[in-house]
Amino acid sequence: MRRGSRPRSADESTGVKVDARSERWREHRKKVRSEIVDAAFRAIDAQGPEVSLREIAEEAGTAKPKIYRHFTDKSDLFQAIAQRMRDMLWGAIFPTINISTDPARAVIFRAVEQYVRLVDEHPNVVRFLMQGRFAEQTESTMRALNEGRDITLAMADMFSNELHEMELDSAAFELAAFATFGAAASATDWWLGSDDATPRRLPREKFVDYLTTIMMGSINGTCEILGVRIDPDLPLHEGVQRSEHVA
């Protein structure tokens, strides 16, 4: 060691202090991002899908430039809103179902029920994500749809894994997931209408029942492709059997 030089502390030599500061900054940034997304939800719910970034900033109690310190651009914020909706939906659906023990109809009904409840609680956020009225939303709208599609793909994987012993074609489950997601998205757009002034085209409970029936139709069609039959009122491992006449 050179004379007069100060030995580095363990923290300085290992960079622990720097890492701690970086971690605190990451946590702070995550917290602020979350608060801005919260504010975006409130602003969109109140102002409608054409809400401006200025109105979101006002709801967050900040200025537009601060938003850009925590989000790369508008598309980044829109994507965070989509991810929040996906996480809310994920958190609502999966605790209510058990693929191993619940009948297929019950699984689909509960998933649809939670989905419709969330749509009904945040209709303008759903319109905002689905309609993509701003140029900046073109890419993020597609990403938002992909976020929602991930949930249907996860459910398809759950069905596929439960029936893995039957060695069924996984591509058919994926096809069913895409088809059911597309049907649900189109049905939701129809049910909500273009704005808050549009009355619901069906009572919520009836919409849940109808959408469940549509989803079950997709599952039954997939089963036909796979050469199996499903009893919707039995757990999957009990209610799925090979069809007698398979091509």
Alpha carbon distances (Å) from 89 to 46, 61, 111, 123, 230: 20, 27, 9, 14, 27
Per the DSSP assignment, residues forming a β-bridge with 235 are 103
Domains plus CATH for the chain?
Answer: 14-71 (1.10.10.60), 74-242 (1.10.357.10)
pLDDT tens sequence for the chain (247 residues): 445 455 444 455 555 555 788 878 778 788 989 999 999 999 999 999 888 999 999 999 999 988 988 898 888 898 899 889 889 988 998 899 888 889 989 999 999 999 999 999 999 999 888 876 555 545 555 555 566 667 777 777 776 666 666 667 778 777 878 888 888 888 999 999 888 888 899 999 999 999 999 988 888 888 888 788 888 888 877 877 776 654 4
